[in-house]
Structure 1
Amino acid sequence: MKPLNLVLQAFGPFAKTERIDFSTLGSNPLFLINGPTGAGKSSILDAICYALYGQTTGAERDGAQMRCDHAAANLLTEVILDFSLGSRTYRIKRIPAQERPRARGEGTTIQAPEAQLWELDGSPEAKLLVPSSVREATTMISELLGLSVEQFRQVIVLPQGKFRDLLMANSRDREEIFSQLFQTHIYRSIEKRLQEQSAVIRNAVSDNNQQIVGILQTATVGSEVELDEEVLELTPKLSAATALKTQAQEAQTQATLAKQHAEALTQRFTDLSKKEIELQAKQALAPSISSQQQRLDKAVQAERIHPLYNRYVEKSAALNQLSVQITGAVKAIETATQDKALAEAGLNTAKADASKITDLTTQQFKLNQFNTQVMQLQKARLTFNAQQIEAQASQAKLEAALSQQGLLNTELLEKEALLTTLNEDLKALVPQQIALADQRVKLENRTRLENLRTEQLGLQKQMTDVLARFNKQQTQFNESQLHKTQTEFAWHAGQAASLAAQLNRGEPCLVCGSKEHPNLAQPSENTELVTKEHLDKARVAEDKARAALEIADATLNTAKLNLDAKKRQINELELTLQALASQSLTLVAKSYQAIEAEVKRLSQVQKDQESVSHKIADIKRTFLTIAGQVTELQAMVDTDKTALIQATASVRQLEDLVPEAYRDENTLTKELSDIEASIKQFNLALNYAQEQFDAKSLGLQEKTATHAQLQVQEQALQLENTQATQDWNEALNQGCFKEVTTFKSALLTAVEQDTIKKTIETFNTELTSLQSVVTQLKTELAKQTLPDLTQVAQLLSDKASEFKVADTAWRVLEERNNLLNNIKQQLTAIKTQTAELYAQYAIIGTLSDVANGVSGKRISLQRFVLSVLLDDVLIQASQRLNVMSKGRYRLHRKLDATDGRIAAGLDLEVEDSYTDRSRPVATLSGGESFMAALSLALGLSDVVQSYAGGIKLDTLFIDEGFGSLDPESLDLAIKTLIDLQASGRMIGIISHVTELKEQMSLRIDVTSSREGSSITTINPIHNKS
């Protein structure tokens, strides 16, 4: 990973937006990040680490605490980093949680943390990989770089005060880092995969044995021999039951057919009876049908004269309605005449009121002459009031500024005294932080030791249980083996006795061929004769006991391995903790908590110190600002007094021009408004009265014309009504109806007529159908007799019961036979599978033990590979350390593993040529530790680069540490870094050592000020061009 461009905005001490273009430093530069203490040199590394992982290099502060106090409120804190990975380029942007002004309205809101990741492929629009999720961006960065944030701090960045972490890391932590860097996870995967496959095979064998027992229990048999015997006994019984079931089923089928025939014949007799009853009922409805036919005929006659009746009724109703309308028209004419008279009177009144408009217009003209002068007077008074308020305000501001000057001076003296106290208290912060880190490691190891001891107790109990089961299986196997041996001997003895009984004197023996038989075998009198079947059972029992013993043995071995591994882990931690291993966890935790509380207190003191420092600077700036304001306010007071005098003179001059009665603008405006309203009201009233009179006159004319038209319509309608009445009376007299009521009762709707027609047609159709069906059934049943259904049903019931008994007996035997045969097939399959599993375990189990360090020297596959890689790293590191230490020190791996502990395989030692002895790296001094840590980081960078598949370490940042070196060692360290740079690495050094600034021309200078720090990139060649 190589950084290309870094943008810091309101981050750390940088109040504004600062940019670092690393390309201006050249290709693979060795450069210095220089600046005074507290300017923000380490904040550049914090920004790079925060952009990638969302955490700072020291992990003491989170993103929300990195906001600059000097930054503008509307300037968001954010970091943008462009970096390259091989041939690809990426950009990541992070915004920490922070308080910002609201987009709308007043007040502030909390900005949620965000992160975006792009791949810059050269196109106008970059490829967005992560839109906003902080977690997704961190995960993808870890996958791209192949390093976690902790590993990044130990390999790419050596933060201030933490450069010794990789050097002092224990074997477990170093194994995790190296496996990540060299991508050796495949070896660990092989270990786990073999271990998992071995466990799967062991579990499968155990499951198979348990499955065999369960399957035999399902069949309620004790062994496979009993299973075979029961199958042989069951076969003839099942054949006999099948034959009985077939006979009973055929008898039941014949009885069922006989019952169905009897039921069908009985149903035909029942149908004949029902149809005869239905025919009689249908014939009884004939008179009703005849009556409905007569009603239908009358309805047809009434329908013919119905139109004449409708015309007669319609004309009579129309004539009555018209008479009502004529009466209403006469009343409307009377009402319209009265309305016209009232409108005429209103018109005369409105004309009298309109004569007053001339006088009101004259008065309105006079009042308008004062309007302009009143407005000028009002304006002058407003100016006077404003000048009076400004004069009072400027005087008040002047007095407040003078008071604030005194308060600021007092506060400045108090803050400076407090700052002196806080600075004295902060001297203990760094030692306490170092002590806290050391105590945290001790507490974590002691907690882990406590957990391991608890797990050991559980494993010991499990070991006891497993050992007891193994002893039990061993006893059972010995007993079964002894029983099998005794059975074999008895069987052979029985066979010898049987052969001896068949020999005659002088005949050769079938076994040895001898014709003399001095001591013939005799059968035992008190022992039962052992058959081949007994011998087979004894051998099967021995095989089962042997398989169970092998499973118990494998389980016991696994338990031993787990317990031994746990003991090794406990011993390793006890050596690391030494005296703390016997100390209570509570006491260790209390010690950690006490130091942690002190560090938190001192951290708060540090925050208070920064806050007080900023406050003192703010007070001084404010004091200077207020001093300038006092001078400006004094001049403002004098100006406001002069303006107030001029405004007073202008008001008095205008009051002389306007009478006092009209000086109030509201009074004058109201009087003018009243006059204007009266004029407008009189005009509106006159117009309305004229409109009402015209409308009422027109209404009277319309009502008179309507009345005349209705009278003409009445005469025509009387003639039509007379003709319609005459036509109806003639039709009624000529028809079969003597009265109107008889005519109305005969009327039927079309639906009613259709319903009656359908009823008559349906009756005739159903009557004919019933007569035909009855005749057919009588003919069909003429020679038949009604069967006895009770007798037929009883016969079927008897046959069904016989079949049920036979079927039940057959099903019991069939199910038992199927179960036993199925179990035999399952047992055969399980035995075959178990044999295959034993063959697989012979290979997989052995490989798993070797790869996981269970056998031999107890070295796992991955640790073996990493030890070789660490040796390569230490060769490169020792070459550089030997140069920087002037030939005194070399690094090497500790080869002797105390008590065969696996975790010791990656421990480091330093070889001291002055004493010709090796000792732990923790014994090195501060400057020596820095040189060793730097050498280890550089050697690691070289070796990782040389291995295909490893992570590319193109960049290295070193934060401080050079101040602990003497001038000669410093020169040697710089030469070593220059050699590393020549191999294609970017190296950045953070230091305020003067000698480094003189030797290194490529620099990033960080300058501090009261408004915040700023960044300048220095490259003499680039700046010159």
Structure 2
Amino acid sequence: MRLLRLELAGFGPYRGRFEIDFAAFEADGVYLIAGPTGAGKSTILDAVCFALYGSAPRYDERAHLRSDLAGPDEATWVELDVQLGDRVLRVRRSPEYERPKQRGSGTTREKAQATLLERTPSGWEAVATTAKEVGHEVARLVGLTKDEFLQVTLLAQGGFAEFLGASSDERKALLERLFGTGSMRRLRELALADGKALGAQRAELEQRRDDRVARVRSLIGPGDDDEEAPADDGAADERSLAALEGILTERLEAASAAAVAATAAEREAREARDAARALAERIARRDGAVAAVAALEAASDAIAADRERLADADRVAEAAAEVDRWTRADRRAQRAATALEAATAVLPESLEPERAAVEREREAALDDVARASETTRFERELPQLEHAADEAERDARAAEEAVDAARRERAEHPEARDALVRAREDAATRAAGTEPARAALEAAEARLEARERADRLVEHEREASAEAGRTAAAQHAAADALQRLQAARVAGMAGELASALVAGEPCPVCGALEHPSPHAPGGDIVTADDVADAIAASEAALAAATAANETLAALERERASLEAIAGAADRDALAAALDAARAAQRACIDAAAERERLGRELEQHDERSRELDGRIAELERVVGERRSAAASAATRLADARARVREALGEHPDARSMLHAASTRRDALEQWLEADAERARAAAEQEEAAADGRAALERLGIADREALAAMRLEPAERLALRERIRAHDDELASARGVLAQPELQGLPETAPDVAPLEAALVEAEAASALAARAEATAQTRLDHAAADLDDARQAIRSLADGAEHAATVRALADALDGRNELRQDIETYVLAARLGTIIEAANLRLGAMTDGRFALLHDEGTAYRGKASGLGIQVLDAHTGRARTTKSLSGGETFLASLALALGLADVVQAEAGGISLETLFVDEGFGSLDQDSLEAALATLDALRAGGRSVGVISHVQQMQERIPWRIRVVPVPGGGSRIEVAASDSPGRAQETALRAG
């Protein structure tokens, strides 16, 4: 995997948008990421990790991924282009974060978003569009988890330097953090938990077996013959369980036999009682039937009278309809005659009560009602016509007034337009100086900023000068001390060799076995370690002096550049010039705004003039229309008033005229209707009387009064019929009961059933007691069977799982460190991986140290509870002996740490399926190296880019900035935040910088 391009905005300390083209570094291979501590160098790697995996190792993405400096309208996002083999992908992510609302107070939540695109010949095509899909695709395509990616991409020497000098237990903790062996720890914990759970399970099985056997023994208890259960002489087995089950089975068989005998005795007692009860019931039925027949025969005379009355009522019912119609016709004729008399009383006295004359008078009255209705309508319309005429006159006058007002307003427009034109031309003249004023303001701001920065650098320059003097003196002192120690070391070498001579052993210089005149040792012996420490101190002093001189020179160059920009003026003069430039620019900006405003007002003024011209023409047309409408309304009102006066005649108003006509019409129509009803009622009365007399003659009844005496209502006839039928049915039923064969020849008195009932109750009680005893025995056997089955299952499970339990306990002990190596599973796995990593690290370390140093994996057993198999020693080829890693110098420790980090990266890549990573980052630590070690480290990094690999080095060491041509510089911004600058140099000491910042 190769990083091609990174673009970010509103992320961490970076408020704006920044872009880094990693592809531009491929020619050099190694590039530098430099900047002050805390500026945001590592945030670049956080952005890469967030783009790929949706989270950053050093951030809580919801709280800190978004820059605190970003404004409400500024978004937060990261976009990364990567190459995987022949495929080029682009992943873009934005985290979920709270931002201030653009309007109002409070905050609003921006949801997390993610997209994954692939570059094709036709452009970028979407691969995934949700955060979940993007995470799945990235993990599948990259082939590394986030932790693995960080391990093999970001080589942090700090953790490995700590790792080298740690104790076994501390090294184990660091290995667990670096390599993530939580799964092994969980495996050990699971094994221990399984062993514990299996022990508890076996204890539970034993307890369950004992509980079930105890419950079966309690069910047995003493029997009828005081038989006790077998004694409990230890752990139960299959034979003892079978003996318990046999006792319960025998007791059930005895109870079943007793229950069968009791049931037979109960059956015999019930049969005797049922036979006596049946005989008594037949005798009672016979006696009841005899009494019923006697009672029914006594009521026969009354039933015969009812039969005769029902027959008369059925006969007269045939003529009831004709007689009822005759009666109704008489009543209708009487009502019609009365109504005609009342209608005749309200007719006019001059009108004869004859139908033809009344009909002619009614037609005349209808015409009068029609004329009165029309006159009423005209009279109701008069107020509306008057209102319409008044409204039309008011509308006409209002239109005339509107025309006059519009004409007056239009007459004032030319003079107002001339004033607007003059004001706009004046504002345009003043706004013409905007661009020169802006340029003058920028120049004034630059001069003031340069003056302030130059003034601040004066104190820093004095401090740097003092530091340069101090470090130079320290460097000279360290050089002098080294020279003195080296001379003393040479002078005392003979005495040191002589003090080590032993009689009979060869001299290391000449090989002689005799030492007749050894050199006397000096007073103070200077060892090789003393000289090495002095060399290190001298080199450190030289590096400090060089750094101090470079810092002083950089400050002097920067202040000279700033002085050239600021000029000779002091800060107060430059601040006053800046205020004047701001005021001039503000005046030009205000004039431009005024010019635009006046231009809009002039356009609005001309538009208003055009609107007034159109409005005047429209109002003149409306005046003509409304004058014509007012004249028409006045004419309609005059015509309506004339028609109403003509129609009323002698009536005061249309309402009284309509009332008189309607009253006369209603009286005439009422008489005509009453006369017609009287004729219809008389005809119907004559026809109904004839039918009624014929019906009476047919039945032989004298008159309507005789028929009324014989009539019964339908409900009364139905009740009589039901009573007669019920009497007949009851008499037949009683006589049928007496004729039944089973009631013939019965004794006079019924048998006594009470003694038989008592015998049955006693037999039922005995049978129930025997049944309960049988059920109890069966229940005990059933319960015991379940308990016995459970106990047998527990016994079999204990026997089957004995070997498995022993195996699990042995495995748990081995994984927990109770083994010959005294290593738990985590330590064992870590020791194996440590050995692999040390082998890979030695390939790098040997090259960086010219074969002098190699790391050794100490697999010896540790004591006092410490982790075994995690020891590391260093083999020094100069001495041929292994020694502790704490004896390494600072530069040697850095080289060993770098070798371990590179070894870890190689191992993780191999374990991840041979994934190729063409982009690596190496963290801080180069400041501890001397010149030769630095050269060796750089050579190793240079070797890493073989085959096209790109290596990013994170460091603030000046020598690194001089040696590495391409670099990414993180620069703090005044007021907070940082910016990213990408610098390229053709040779050390000469660089051309380009800040790739946007937004």
TM range (shorter): 0.5 to 0.7
Paired position in structure 2 for 1:74: 73
Equivalent pair of 1:1005/1:1018 in contact (CA under 8 Å): no
**CA distance in 1: counterparts of 2:191 and 2:385, whole angstroms:** 122
Paired position in structure 2 for 1:519: none
> For residues 971 and 803 of structure 1, do their structure 2 counterparts lie closer, same or farther at Cα, with a shift above 3 Å needed?
same
Check if 1:725 corresponds to 2:681: yes
Check if 1:372 corresponds to 2:403: no
**CA distance in 2: counterparts of 1:849 and 1:51, whole angstroms:** 45
Check if 1:958 corresponds to 2:922: yes
Paired position in structure 1 for 2:944: 980
Find the residue that maps to 1:854 and give its secondary structure. coil
Check if 1:32 corresponds to 2:67: no
Residue type of the partner of 1:249? Answer: T
Name which of 254, 266, 277 aligns with 2:268.
Answer: 254
> For residues 337 and 11 of structure 1, do their structure 2 counterparts lie closer, same or farther at Cα, with a shift above 3 Å needed?
closer
Equivalent pair of 2:33/2:969 in contact (CA under 8 Å): yes
Once the two structures are superposed, residues 454-504 of structure 1 have per-residue CA deviations (whole angstroms, 9 ceiling, x without a partner) of: xxxxxxxxxxxxxxxxxxxxxxxxxxxxxxxxxxxxxxxxxxxxxxxxxxx
Equivalent pair of 1:8/1:19 in contact (CA under 8 Å): yes
Once the two structures are superposed, residues 608-667 of structure 1 have per-residue CA deviations (whole angstroms, 9 ceiling, x without a partner) of: xxxxxxxxxxxx9999698245255279679989x99xx9xxx9xxxxxxxxxxxxxxxx
**Whose radius of gyration is greater, 1 or 2?**
2
**CA distance in 2: counterparts of 1:852 and 1:877, whole angstroms:** 30
Equivalent pair of 1:852/1:861 in contact (CA under 8 Å): yes
**CA distance in 2: counterparts of 1:951 and 1:34, whole angstroms:** 25
> For residues 386 and 331 of structure 1, do their structure 2 counterparts lie closer, same or farther at Cα, with a shift above 3 Å needed?
farther
Paired position in structure 2 for 1:867: 831
Residue type of the partner of 2:738? Answer: K
Q: CA deviation at 1:24?
A: 6.4
Check if 1:807 corresponds to 2:802: no
**CA distance in 1: counterparts of 2:706 and 2:647, whole angstroms:** 54
| Correspondence list, 1:279-318, <5 A | none
Paired position in structure 2 for 1:223: 232
Find the residue that maps to 1:982 and give its secondary structure. coil
Name which of 917, 938, 944 aligns with 2:908.
Answer: 944
**CA distance in 1: counterparts of 2:707 and 2:979, whole angstroms:** 117
Paired position in structure 2 for 1:242: 256
Equivalent pair of 2:118/2:124 in contact (CA under 8 Å): no
Equivalent pair of 1:888/1:913 in contact (CA under 8 Å): yes
Name which of 927, 935, 939 aligns with 1:971.
Answer: 935
**CA distance in 2: counterparts of 1:297 and 1:25, whole angstroms:** 132
Residue type of the partner of 1:779? Answer: A
Name which of 187, 198, 202 aligns with 2:199.
Answer: 202
**CA distance in 2: counterparts of 1:859 and 1:772, whole angstroms:** 112
Paired position in structure 1 for 2:511: none
Paired position in structure 2 for 1:7: 7
**CA distance in 1: counterparts of 2:864 and 2:914, whole angstroms:** 30
Equivalent pair of 1:347/1:693 in contact (CA under 8 Å): no
Residue type of the partner of 1:30? Answer: G
Name which of 891, 894, 903 aligns with 2:867.
Answer: 903
> For residues 295 and 714 of structure 1, do their structure 2 counterparts lie closer, same or farther at Cα, with a shift above 3 Å needed?
farther
Paired position in structure 2 for 1:782: 743
| Correspondence list, 1:576-615, <5 A | none
Residue type of the partner of 1:372? Answer: R
Paired position in structure 2 for 1:212: 209
Q: CA deviation at 1:697?
A: 9.1
Report the structure, 1 or 2, having the larger helix content. 1
**CA distance in 2: counterparts of 1:380 and 1:995, whole angstroms:** 79
**CA distance in 2: counterparts of 1:321 and 1:789, whole angstroms:** 92
Paired position in structure 2 for 1:111: 109
| Correspondence list, 1:125-524, <5 A | 126=126, 128=128, 131=130, 153-158=150-155, 164=161, 170-176=170-176, 180=180, 185=183, 191=188, 194-218=191-215, 219-220=217-218, 223=232, 238-259=252-273, 336=373, 339=376, 368=403, 371-377=406-412
**CA distance in 2: counterparts of 1:678 and 1:126, whole angstroms:** 74
Where does structure 2 lack aligned partners over 5 or more consecutive residues?
219-228, 235-239, 348-358, 465-573, 606-617, 649-653, 697-702, 987-999
Check if 1:44 corresponds to 2:44: yes
Once the two structures are superposed, residues 19-66 of structure 1 have per-residue CA deviations (whole angstroms, 9 ceiling, x without a partner) of: 556566669x9342556558754332121123345554544x755444
Q: CA deviation at 1:958?
A: 2.0
**CA distance in 2: counterparts of 1:758 and 1:1002, whole angstroms:** 125
Q: CA deviation at 1:879?
A: 2.6
Equivalent pair of 2:33/2:41 in contact (CA under 8 Å): yes
Paired position in structure 1 for 2:817: 853
Find the residue that maps to 2:743 and give its secondary structure. coil
**CA distance in 1: counterparts of 2:934 and 2:233, whole angstroms:** 85
Equivalent pair of 1:151/1:177 in contact (CA under 8 Å): no
Of 194-203 and 734-743, the range deviating more from structure 2: 734-743
Find the residue that maps to 1:890 and give its secondary structure. strand
Paired position in structure 2 for 1:627: 581
Once the two structures are superposed, residues 571-620 of structure 1 have per-residue CA deviations (whole angstroms, 9 ceiling, x without a partner) of: xxxxxxxxxxxxxxxxxxxxxxxxxxxxxxxxxxxxxxxxxxxxxxxxx9
Equivalent pair of 1:312/1:721 in contact (CA under 8 Å): no
Equivalent pair of 2:89/2:117 in contact (CA under 8 Å): yes
> For residues 867 and 950 of structure 1, do their structure 2 counterparts lie closer, same or farther at Cα, with a shift above 3 Å needed?
farther
Find the residue that maps to 2:922 and give its secondary structure. strand
**CA distance in 2: counterparts of 1:243 and 1:874, whole angstroms:** 88
TM-score of the aligned structures, taking structure 1 as reference length: 0.58
> For residues 63 and 213 of structure 1, do their structure 2 counterparts lie closer, same or farther at Cα, with a shift above 3 Å needed?
closer
Residue type of the partner of 2:78? Answer: V
**CA distance in 2: counterparts of 1:928 and 1:762, whole angstroms:** 131
Equivalent pair of 1:154/1:165 in contact (CA under 8 Å): no
TM-score of the aligned structures, taking structure 2 as reference length: 0.60
Residue type of the partner of 1:956? Answer: L
Once the two structures are superposed, residues 46-98 of structure 1 have per-residue CA deviations (whole angstroms, 9 ceiling, x without a partner) of: 21123345554544x75544445775642311123455778998765443344
Equivalent pair of 1:857/1:900 in contact (CA under 8 Å): no
Of 916-925 and 873-882, the range deviating more from structure 2: 916-925
Q: CA deviation at 1:385?
A: 10
Residue type of the partner of 1:252? Answer: E
> For residues 26 and 293 of structure 1, do their structure 2 counterparts lie closer, same or farther at Cα, with a shift above 3 Å needed?
farther
Of 796-805 and 197-206, the range deviating more from structure 2: 197-206
Paired position in structure 2 for 1:840: 804
Same amino acid, percent of matched pairs:
23
Equivalent pair of 2:378/2:644 in contact (CA under 8 Å): no
Q: CA deviation at 1:722?
A: 3.3
Equivalent pair of 2:98/2:110 in contact (CA under 8 Å): no
Equivalent pair of 2:823/2:868 in contact (CA under 8 Å): no
Equivalent pair of 2:385/2:637 in contact (CA under 8 Å): no
Equivalent pair of 1:198/1:844 in contact (CA under 8 Å): yes
Q: CA deviation at 1:721?
A: 2.0
Q: CA deviation at 1:150?
A: 6.2
**CA distance in 2: counterparts of 1:212 and 1:422, whole angstroms:** 90
Once the two structures are superposed, residues 760-793 of structure 1 have per-residue CA deviations (whole angstroms, 9 ceiling, x without a partner) of: 8877876666555444433335235656554443
Q: CA deviation at 1:296?
A: 7.9
Q: How many residues are paired up?
A: 788
**CA distance in 2: counterparts of 1:50 and 1:851, whole angstroms:** 37
Where does structure 1 lack aligned partners over 5 or more consecutive residues?
428-619, 652-668, 1021-1025
Equivalent pair of 2:155/2:902 in contact (CA under 8 Å): no
**CA distance in 1: counterparts of 2:980 and 2:704, whole angstroms:** 118
Once the two structures are superposed, residues 428-447 of structure 1 have per-residue CA deviations (whole angstroms, 9 ceiling, x without a partner) of: xxxxxxxxxxxxxxxxxxxx
Of 988-997 and 806-815, the range deviating more from structure 2: 988-997
Residue type of the partner of 1:782? Answer: L
**CA distance in 2: counterparts of 1:897 and 1:214, whole angstroms:** 48
